[in-house]
Each structure stands twice: as C-alpha cells, then as structure tokens.
Amino acid sequence: MKLCMVVRSFVPTGGMGRYATSMAGELARQGHTVHVVCQRSTDDNVGGQGCKSRVAIEKIRPGRLRGLPGYLAFARRARRAAALSAAELSLAIDRVPGLDIFRAGGGCHASYLGTLERGRYSVRNMVELELDRRAAREASRVVANAPLPAAQLTERYRLEPRKVVVIPNGVDTILFRPSGRLRTSFRREIALDEGRPLVLFLGSGFARKGLSTAISAVSRLDGAVLAVLGADRYSAAFRQQASRLGTEVIFLGLRQDVARVLAAADAMVLPTLYDSASNAVLEAMAAGVPPVTSGANGAAAFLPEPWMVVNSAHDVPGFAMALERALSTPGLGEICRSTVKTMTWHKSCKALVQLSREVLAERAG
C-alpha cells in the first residue's frame, strides 16, 4: 500500500512528530510505501534503518508566512500535494481537512477549549476549531488514540459513531524500560539519595498539564522530590510556588534523555486539564514507573488500577493520596510495564493498515 502522510513537523519530538516518525517507520518495515508531506524534517527520521527507500519526504514551504497564516498555507498546499502524490490513501496527522483519514492526536479541540479560562475565543483558537471540525467531518474515518477523545469527537462534532475508530499509540518498551544503571546515573547527576522518592512531572505547558497541583501534592509527601521535565515561559511562577510551599523541585528543562530520567523515577504525576492520551503516561508505564493522572487524560483508560486516576485535575489531596499509594504498593511498576507491553507500534500500525483497507474497499463500492 502507498500512503500519503501529512504532518507539519516530521521530527521525532513532540506528540505528533513522534507518532508520525514511529508510524512511518513501522509502515515501511511492514513493506508499505509512505509519502510524507511536511514543513520540516531531519535526515535521520526517514523510517528507520533499512527503510529509507520506502519513505519519501516532500517539504512544503509556506514562504514568509508564520504563525496562523503559515499554518493555513501549509494546510492548503499539503492537501494539493497529497492529491498529486499518487498514493492510494491520505492520512492527516495535523488538522488538514479533506484527507481520507484524520488522526486526531490532539483529541477534540472543542473539548480542549472548554478547559481554558481565557483565550478560548481568540482568532487562532476559533480557526483551529474550524479546521479540527472540518478535518473530522470531511474524512472517511477519524482515528482517536483513546476512548475518551473518541466519545468527545463523536458528540461535539456530531459524527457517526462508526466513523470514529480507537487505535491506541504504540510505546517503545525497549527504549523505555527499568534500568538500575540509568537510575543510578541520573540520581547521581542530581545528587539525590536512593532512599528519597523521586516523582516526575513530564510535559510542557505547565498550567494545562497541572504543575501547580503536582507541586502542592508532592509537598504533602515526606522527603519526596519533584523533577519537572519540560519547558514553559511562565516557569518563574511555579518556582515561587515551590519555594513558598517548601517543595523541593528540580526544573530540568527540555532534555533528550527522557528514558534515563524516567528510569530514575519512583512515580509520575500528570494532573492535566486536557490530554487526548498522553504518551508520557504510556512511556512511564513501560519504564516501570506508576503514573497518577487526571480523569481528563484519555490515557487514564490504560492504567491498571482505578485509584491511579484522580477525577479532578485540581484535587490536591486526591493526588497526594494516590501518589502515596503508588509509592508504597509493591510490584506496581511491574504491573504497569506488563500492561503496556502489548501496546506496540507493530500492533498500532496493523490496525491503521486494516482501517485503510476498509476505506479503500468502501470507495471501490
């Protein structure tokens, strides 16, 4: 099968980029051909070793346009490029209307906007909402990565339930794994004694991801340290909160060695206001690190214990109690890892290929 994949950033970082590069690589390894239409890419993410000949990259330049105008220009040009690619089927990873399959990796934008206190009706958000709605309505199928965003897309955009298909993301259980060597290495780097619990917060956009709740919850745990892996231009406010509460917080910024940091953690916390299905939660589970997250995270459906999900992202006592239990439950890390071991990229890719064949069969009549 020849598939045209449209994504602005075909680089192995960020949620969409990691999905696109991982899926393109797996498609190529399974013998399919992928024509990638993107705005930027790197030379080392063309499908994995031995698969370069099956992945072709076409870059679309928006000229001097930046921000929202550049985004709209890319969507228009990418749609034309997909039509000219001679691919049997087109897959939108970004919000590009008019393609055969729309993978709604960001979830339902209408539901996300409902979590915002301000800026909900900005020009950018309204345009992105329209693109999201059109991409979902004009596609033959919409792929959600968890049951929660699937239900939201169906309800908010009035889609036929059969049109929305849940295909969970894959997780690299070889890269993300328990490792005593990596654990010791990172704890030495941050000068943290082995006996002290290390709780990891992983994600950028600290307000939406719930860092304030995380800091307050960890402040209630004896001797616990919170490591924050991610970036935010308003991080000074969170540093002040940590200082005020006496919470020991290590701000790590953006790093490439996520697997190493995860291997050193004892638990993960993500009190997000909205996440379609956080990859970070799946990666933590693969590393044998029990995550505690909010009910607004689609990845909550994959956690092995219901108490690991706190209904409200603002429930500080609830997160503190769940973290305490996660840190003190023997064998929970092994249970988490075994839960995601079946969530492979191979399995996710096979489901996408099967869905593509269904769409082609319907088109053939």
Extract long-range pairs of 308-311: CB within 8 Å, 24+ residues apart: 310/271
C-alpha span between 268 and 307 (Å, rounded): 14
Query: At CA 124, angle to CA 132 and CA 231, rounded to 5?
Result: 95
Domain 2-170+344-364 has CATH 3.40.50.2000: yes
121's tokens: 């009706």
pLDDT in tens, 180-224: 999 999 999 999 998 899 999 999 999 999 999 999 999 999 999
Between 107 and 63, where is the model more confident? Answer: 107
Query: Where does CATH 3.40.50.2000 sit in the chain?
Result: 2-170+344-364, 180-340
pLDDT grade for 15, boundaries at 50, 70 and 90: confident
pLDDT in tens, 238-256: 999 999 999 999 999 999 8
Q: What is the CATH number of domain 180-340?
A: 3.40.50.2000
Q: Which of 325, 315, 264 is nearest to 294 (CA)?
A: 315
For residue 365, pLDDT beyond 80: no
C-alpha span between 176 and 191 (Å, rounded): 23
For residue 288, pLDDT beyond 60: yes
φ, ψ of residue 143 in degrees (nearest 5): -100, 120
User: What pLDDT, on a 0 to 100 scale, did the predictor assign at position 46?
Assistant: 55
What is the overall mean pLDDT for the chain? 92
C-alpha span between 279 and 348 (Å, rounded): 14
Q: Which of 334, 116, 325, 296 is nearest to 217 (CA)?
A: 325
3-state secondary structure at position 338:
helix
φ, ψ of residue 82 in degrees (nearest 5): -65, -40
C-alpha span between 300 and 323 (Å, rounded): 15
pLDDT in tens, 81-112: 999 998 999 999 999 999 999 999 999 999 99
3-state secondary structure at position 126:
helix
pLDDT grade for 52, boundaries at 50, 70 and 90: low
Phi-psi domain of 223 (left: phi exceeds 0; alpha: psi -120 through 50; beta: other): left
Provide the residue type at 146 as one letter.
A
